[in-house]
Structure 1
Amino acid sequence: MGISIIKAGLLSTVQDLGRWGFQRQGVPVSGAMDRLALRLGNVLLGNDESAAAIECTWTGPSIRFDQDQLISITGANLLPKLNGKEIAMWKPIYVPKDAVLSFGKADSEGCRAYICFYGGLDVPHVLGSCATYLSGKMGGLNGQALVKGDQISFLKAFESVSSTFNWSMDSSLYPNLASRKIRILAGPHTARLEKDSLLDLFKQSFEISNSSDRMGYRLKSKMLHLKDKRELLSSGVCFGTIQLPADGQPIILMADHGTTGGYPIIGQVASIDIPLLAQLKPGEHIQFEEIDLRAAQQLLLEQEQQINRLRQGVRLKYES
């Protein structure tokens, strides 16, 4: 007993925090695009942070619950409703048996929401992860996006004397999705940019093109030029790596990126801003802002401390 998919939405997939440890074999980490939203959603339910959830893109699914359950919805506001009535995000929500969870379209900010379930979803682990990797047809439910008629069981049933939760998460833990500033660190080949192109990297805005997806965001802007055109050996890449192909239009690698790349690396998105980046839509513009490694690490440390405080607070709520 769990959920049944009535309508799949534009792109709904089962995701967790990714498939780690297999990049040397060419298997991408994949996982949630906005890992912070997924983590926070699971923390709100007292779950392991990596518990499998549903990632919804632009237009969410319609889901019937075949048994009582506790959920949380985080990330972008896709206007969630329970039996046609709007419900709050960023808090535990009790869902009774036979209720239908539905969504509208993304509001002005963000495009990905996460539905987390008490205890997580019961889907097979492939190489240690439930994450759906669409190109490799692995993980999730049959290695593909959810479709009408799919059924997924819960790992745990929610049993409690109370179904009312009058508390929610402090919104300051999550980035302001209205921001278009993306902080980046210098890459190993940043110094190879021509002087004017180096200035343009931080001065001009970049449009996210329509050819962007979970593998990478292709950007449109004034061309960036390198001082020389020498070939490079392929090297390891990660989520947020900014590559510069021969056409002079940068690519930011996203959750389903390959494990190596041969294009010059002109920057790396700071981990603190990857959730914001993951919520941006084609047609929107961003601007890069330089940050040094120490400052980026400090911001990430402060965020982790905040998450730890939330985790402790949630534990006390459930214990009481």
Structure 2
Amino acid sequence: MEICILKPGVLSTIQDLGRMDYLNQAIPVSGATDQLSARIANKAVGNSEGDAVIEFTYAAAEFKAETEILIAYAGDGATFYANGEKLPTERPIFVPAETVIKLINNPDGARTYLAIAGGWNVPEVLGSKSTYLTAAFGGYEGRILKTGDHLKSSENLSETSISILNRLRGNTIKYLQWSIPKALLLPKDHKTIRVVPAREFTWFDSQSIIGFLSDSFSIGLNSNRMGYHLEGNKINRIKNDELLSTAVFPGTIQVTGSGNLVLLMADCQTTGGYPRIAQVASVDLPLCAQLKPGDHIRFSEISKEDAEFLYIEREKELARLTLAINSKF
């Protein structure tokens, strides 16, 4: 299976679930910013959830099916259209050769993930197919996708993928009626982000802590896959001890020397010298991944135990969904 990129969009890269084994060598996790959407897209076509996907940022992208393809997409940044027909999200779609698919902007989010049966066939670098643009490695030649790029799927299709393909194969676009609704795996309030107090939480005055957990913050224009700069009331320190560079991770919220907040994202560094006020609960990172400059969010405190419970419950639900899909084929 093969596609050709006709328009690459704002920022389109190959990603998977990232590299976890090289943090001690200062290699960031990278990977899909919205891992839940990436996993859902892969599950829908019978892939392993860690297979490579294309991460599209916003829309204005377009590609052509060079051969027949079995795909699925998930995420809130764009809606797929082919021949004037809106293609449904979060389910397998068969697309005949020569079909052109356009991504139309969805104002509800920022990123959309395209999975193909077998996963995108690019080399592994340090145990992952994810693109790390800063160091120009991984993904497709270590860079963003460009017009004219040809991308192929792996030929190693799962039995589930083969069964879905055989059921849908034909001369027209076809898709199954079932879907994997991401909305059921997320809280209804997409603008309240649950956080766990971090190691330096007590380094800030009480008024700042109250403001952090009650005020609204907006996503700044200079935000990207490395991190979001948040605009809002300043956070004031009462403890000015020198902080040696210490571990950070996607979802860490740091306070800069000027009192501003930075929410670290997929391509963030592995250590940092700014104090950490909080860590986003893993289950809410997909909400952060869909934020755009100008969006407003609030933070709500939960315990480490609650964050762990929510994570385990979501993983159980995803496992049940996988079992249900495999049992259909």
Instruction: Give the TM bin, normalised by the shorter chain.
Output: over 0.9
Match among 194, 219, 223 for residue 208 of structure 1: 219
- Report the residue type matching 2:121 in the other structure: D
Give the match for residue 191 of structure 1: 202
Give the match for residue 175 of structure 1: 186
CA distance in 2, matches of 1:249, 1:234: 18
CA distance in 1, matches of 2:166, 2:90: 22
CA distance in 1, matches of 2:75, 2:166: 29
Quick one: structure 1 residues 122 and 140, their matched pair in 2 at CA, closer, same or farther if it must change by over 3 Å? Answer: same
Are the aligned partners of 2:185 and 2:314 in contact in 1 as well (CA < 8 Å)? no
CA distance in 1, matches of 2:47, 2:144: 24
Percentage identity across aligned positions?
A: 38
Give the match for residue 20 of structure 1: 20
Give the match for residue 139 of structure 1: 138
CA distance in 2, matches of 1:136, 1:171: 32
Instruction: Give 1:45 deviation, angstroms.
Output: 1.3
Give per-residue Cα distances to partners, 1:83-104, cap 9 Å, x unaligned: 3311100111111111111111
Give per-residue Cα distances to partners, 1:21-57, cap 9 Å, x unaligned: 1111111110000001101111111111110010011
Aligned length, in residue pairs: 317
Residues 234-245 of structure 1 aligned to structure 2 (within 5 Å): 234-245=245-256
Give per-residue Cα distances to partners, 1:266-301, cap 9 Å, x unaligned: 100000100001101011111000000111111111
For the residue of structure 2 that corresponds to 1:80, the secondary structure is strand
Quick one: structure 1 residues 11 and 105, their matched pair in 2 at CA, closer, same or farther if it must change by over 3 Å? Answer: same
- Report the residue type matching 2:179 in the other structure: S
CA distance in 2, matches of 1:187, 1:77: 30
CA distance in 1, matches of 2:19, 2:182: 28
Give per-residue Cα distances to partners, 1:219-268, cap 9 Å, x unaligned: 11111101022211111111100111111001011000001001101100
Give the match for residue 84 of structure 1: 84
Give the match for residue 66 of structure 2: 66
Quick one: structure 1 residues 161 and 35, their matched pair in 2 at CA, closer, same or farther if it must change by over 3 Å? Answer: closer
For the residue of structure 2 that corresponds to 1:183, the secondary structure is strand
Are the aligned partners of 1:64 and 1:100 in contact in 2 as well (CA < 8 Å)? yes
Residues 209-224 of structure 1 aligned to structure 2 (within 5 Å): 209-224=220-235
Residues 264-279 of structure 1 aligned to structure 2 (within 5 Å): 264-279=275-290
CA distance in 1, matches of 2:182, 2:131: 28
Moved over 3 A (4+): 157-161, 170-174
Instruction: Give 1:183 deviation, angstroms.
Output: 0.4
Instruction: Give 1:67 deviation, angstroms.
Output: 1.1
CA distance in 2, matches of 1:60, 1:308: 34
Match among 155, 162, 165 for residue 167 of structure 2: 162
Instruction: Give 1:106 deviation, angstroms.
Output: 2.1
Instruction: Give 1:4 deviation, angstroms.
Output: 0.6
- Report the residue type matching 1:38 in the other structure: A
- Report the residue type matching 1:8 in the other structure: P
The CA RMSD measured in Å over matched residues stands at 1.5
